[in-house]
């Protein structure tokens, strides 16, 4: 595996971990301080974490990569993260509801879902949204 890819994966993991900490913190705060349930709380915590990770990924994890216009980038980022969120959310709901034969705490279910969806989102970002810069061929 090329060293650049290893560093990119490491930055993506740090960014994802930061997003996880933000989402877990907001989720926990909402569960503790409001009457919202775990599903409604995720509807608030996810968009906040999405904004944090978008800013970090665009400037740091994939900062050296070509980017589309800001609007197209944000839409592509949002679509990719929503795909990841749906994977994460299905796992989350299955784990907190006990449908898989085990019931876990919401933050643990969030972590398991996040790890699973991270593989999908990294692949889409690395191969699609944030491509390697095109090198000009000089004559």
Q: Tell me the pLDDT band of 47, cut-offs 50, 70 and 90.
A: very high
DSSP-assigned letter for residue 113:
H
Quote the pTM value. 0.76
Q: Rounded to an integer, what distance in angstroms lies between the CA atom of residue 51 and that of residue 104? A: 27
pLDDT at residue number 25 = 96
If one counts every other C-beta atom within 10 angstroms of the C-beta of residue 90, the result is 13
Residue 91 contacts residue 108 (beta carbons within 8 Å): no
Q: Who's near 74: CB < 8 A, 6+ residues apart? A: 54
In the chain, where are the structural domains located? 3-129
């Amino acid at each position: 595996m090329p060293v650049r890819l290893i560093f990119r994966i490491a930055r993506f993991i740090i960014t994802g971990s930061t997003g996880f900490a933000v989402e877990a913190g907001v989720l926990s705060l909402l569960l503790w301080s409001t009457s919202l349930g775990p599903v409604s709380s995720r509807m608030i915590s996810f968009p906040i974490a999405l904004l944090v990770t978008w800013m970090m990924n665009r400037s740091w994890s994939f900062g050296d990569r070509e980017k589309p216009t800001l609007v197209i980038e944000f839409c592509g980022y949002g679509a990719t993260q929503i795909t990841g969120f749906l994977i994460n959310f299905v796992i989350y709901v299955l784990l907190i509801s006990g449908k898989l034969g085990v019931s876990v705490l919401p933050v643990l279910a969030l972590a398991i879902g996040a790890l699973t969806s991270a593989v999908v989102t990294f692949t889409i970002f690395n191969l699609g949204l944030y491509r390697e810069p095109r090198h000009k061929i000089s004559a």
